[in-house]
């Protein structure tokens, strides 16, 4: 089922500024390898079976170009559902599903994903 380009929705979030890392989790790092802390990312899909990873699109921390990446669910915060207008995001959503992931297409699916992500983050 193809959804019209005008009706694309996804979950929008920010990368956490401080992310625990290391063996004991006492050390912190700023952002992720590809995204700055506080960067806006579009969550365009998830792997429902594992509930550990999400597929995001955002601007690369060095080049500024839009990149897609699979990141841990515990690295995002401030989730909200928004309509997508950026052509780069729409083009990605029109493409194939990577690795069998469930991709967002309607507002209902995006809202469902926005409710699930905090639960997954608590389990991780």
Tell me the pLDDT tens digit for each residue of 80-111: 999 888 887 887 777 665 665 666 778 888 88
The answer to whether residues 57 and 42 touch, using CB atoms and an 8 Å cutoff, is yes
What pLDDT shows up at residue 85?
Answer: 86
Q: What are phi and psi of 24, to 5 degrees?
A: -95, -10
| Helix/strand/coil for 2 | coil
Distances, alpha carbon 62 to alpha carbons 1, 15, 49, 115, in Å: 37, 15, 32, 31
Q: From CA 10, how far away is CA 43, in angstroms rounded?
A: 6
What pLDDT shows up at residue 1?
Answer: 47
Intra-chain end-to-end CA distance of the chain, in Å: 33
Q: From CA 40, how far away is CA 43, in angstroms rounded?
A: 10
Residue ranges in the chain modelled with pLDDT below 50: 1, 3
């Amino acid at each position: 089922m193809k959804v019209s380009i005008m009706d694309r929705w996804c979950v929008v979030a920010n990368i956490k500024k401080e992310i625990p890392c290391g063996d004991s989790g006492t050390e912190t790092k700023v952002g992720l390898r590809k995204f700055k802390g506080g960067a806006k990312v579009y969550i365009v899909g998830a792997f429902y079976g594992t509930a550990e990873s999400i597929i995001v699109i955002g601007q690369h921390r060095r080049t500024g170009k839009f990149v897609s990446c699979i990141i841990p669910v515990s690295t995002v915060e401030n989730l909200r559902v928004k309509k997508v207008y950026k052509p780069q995001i729409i083009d990605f959503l029109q493409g194939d599903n990577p690795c069998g992931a469930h991709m967002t297409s309607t507002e209902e699916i995006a809202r469902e994903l926005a409710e699930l992500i905090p639960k997954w983050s608590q389990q991780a």
